Chains A and B, each alone.
Chain A
Amino acid sequence: MSAHEIANGQLPHEPEKATLEGRNKVLGFWLFLGAETVLFGTLFSAFLALRHNIGDGPKPSELFELPMVFAATMILLFSSLMSVFAVQAMHRNQVKPMLGWLLITIVLGLAFLGLEIYEFTNYVKEGHRMNTSAFSSSFYTLVGFHGAHVAFGVLWIGLLILQILKKGLTVVTAPKIYVSAIYWHFIDVVWVFIFTVVYLMGKVG
Chain B
Amino acid sequence: MAAHAHKVKRYHGLLDWLTTVDHKKIGILYLLAGGLFFLVGGLEAILIRIQLIKPMNNFVGADTFNELITMHGTTMIFLAAMPLLFALMNAVIPLQIGARDVAFPFLNALGFWTFFFGGLLLNISWFAGNVPDAGWTSYVPLASPTYNSGHGVDYYVLGLQIAGIGTLLGGVNFMATIINMRAPGMSFMRMPMFAWTIFITSALIVFAFPVLTVGLVALMFDRLFQANFFETASGGSAVLWEHVFWVFGHPEVYILILPAFGVISEVVSTFARKRLFGYSSMVFATVLIAFLGFMVWAHHMFTTGLGPVANALFSIATMLIAVPTGVKVFNWLFTLWGGSIRFTAASMFAIGFIPTFVMGGVTGVMLAVAPADYQYHDTYFVVGHFHYVIVGGLVFSIFAGLHYWWPKMFGRMLNEWIGKLTFWTFFIGFHLTFFVQHFLGLLGMPRRVWTYLPNQGFDTMNLISTIGAFLMGVATIAFLVNVVVTSAKPRNAKADAWEDGRSLEWSIPSPPPEYNFKQLPLVRGFDAWWKEKMEGHTEMTPAEPPGPIHMPSPSFLPLIMSIGLFIAGFGFMYDKLYLAIGGIAVTLFCMFLRSVFDDHGFHIEEEEQEKGVHA
A residues touching B (Cβ–Cβ < 8 Å)? 2-5, 8, 20, 23-24, 27-28, 31-32, 34-36, 38-39, 42-43, 45-46, 49-50, 53-55, 130-138, 140-141, 159-160, 163, 167, 172, 176
Contact = CB atoms under 8 A, between A and B. Distances in A.
A55 to B, nearest CB: 5
A35 B172 CA distance: 9
A5 B225 contact: no
Given A28-B173, A34-B207, A134 B103 contact: no
A131 to B, nearest CB: 4
A4 B598 contact: yes
A134 B218 contact: no
Interface string B201-244: 00000111111011101100110011111010011110010001
A10 to B, nearest CB: 15
A13 to B, nearest CB: 20
Nearest to A20: B180
A27 B235 contact: no
A131 B226 CA distance: 5
B3 interface: yes
A179 to B, nearest CB: 11
A28 B234 contact: no
Q: Which of B208, B213, B598 has the most CB of A within 10 A?
A: B598
A45 B248 CA distance: 14
A146 to B, nearest CB: 13
B88 to A, nearest CB: 21
B309 interface: no
Contacts of A163: 595-596
A3 B600 CA distance: 8
B596 A159 contact: yes
A50 B213 contact: no
Nearest to A131: B226
A27 B598 CA distance: 20
A46 B235 contact: no
Interface size class of chain B, counting residues whose CB lies under 8 Å from the partner chain: 35 or more
Given A4-B600, A42-B214, A50-B236, A137 B227 contact: yes
B168 A46 contact: no
A137 B180 CA distance: 41
A138 B229 contact: yes
B590 to A, nearest CB: 13
A5 B1 contact: yes
Contacts of B247: 42
B235 A50 contact: yes
Nearest to A28: B176
A141 B217 contact: yes
A9 to B, nearest CB: 10
Contact of A42 (B179, B215, B237): B215
A72 to B, nearest CB: 23
B576 interface: no
A134 B236 contact: yes
Contacts of A172: 598
B228 A137 contact: yes
A2 B235 contact: no
B226 A42 contact: no
B595 A24 contact: no
6 contacts: A2-B550, A38-B210, A38-B211, A134-B231, A137-B221, A140-B227
Contacts of B103: 24, 27-28
B210 A42 contact: yes
B147 to A, nearest CB: 18
Q: Which of B3, B213, B228, B592 has the most CB of A within 10 A?
A: B228
Contacts of B104: 24, 28
A23 B180 contact: yes
Given A50-B235, A55-B235, A141-B221, A136 B228 contact: yes
Interface of B: 1-3, 103-104, 107, 168, 171-173, 175-176, 179-181, 206-211, 213-215, 217-218, 221-222, 225-229, 231, 234-237, 240, 244, 247, 550, 592, 595-596, 598, 600-601
B229 A43 contact: no
B491 to A, nearest CB: 31
Contact of A46 (B176, B209, B214): B214
B100 to A, nearest CB: 11
A178 to B, nearest CB: 15
A34 B213 CA distance: 14
Nearest to B214: A42
A49 B235 contact: no
A11 to B, nearest CB: 16
B229 A54 contact: no
B206 A39 contact: no
A5 to B, nearest CB: 6
3 closest A-B pairs by CB: A53-B235, A134-B235, A39-B210
A176 B595 contact: yes
B172 A31 contact: yes
A54 B235 contact: yes
A33 to B, nearest CB: 10
Nearest to A137: B227
A189 to B, nearest CB: 16
Given A28-B173, A42-B244, A50-B240, 11 more contacts: A5-B3, A32-B206, A35-B206, A38-B211, A42-B247, A46-B244, A49-B237, A50-B236, A134-B237, A137-B228, A167-B598
A134 B229 contact: yes
Contacts of B222: 137
A2 B598 CA distance: 12
Contacts of B211: 38-39, 42
B235 A141 contact: no
A117 to B, nearest CB: 18
A4 B600 CA distance: 7
B176 A2 contact: no
B601 to A, nearest CB: 7
A55 B233 CA distance: 9
B3 A35 contact: no
Contacts of A42: 210-211, 214-215, 244, 247
Nearest to A156: B595
Contacts of A35: 168, 171-172, 206-207, 209-210
Contacts of A46: 214, 218, 229, 240, 244
Q: Which of B180, B227, B231, B235 has the most CB of A within 10 A?
A: B235
Nearest to A49: B240
Nearest to A176: B595
A117 B213 CA distance: 25
Contacts of A5: 1-3
A131 B222 CA distance: 9
Nearest to B206: A35
A31 B176 contact: yes
B172 A28 contact: yes
A55 B227 contact: no
B176 A24 contact: yes
Contacts of A24: 103-104, 176, 180-181
Nearest to A54: B235
B595 A159 contact: yes
A8 B172 CA distance: 30
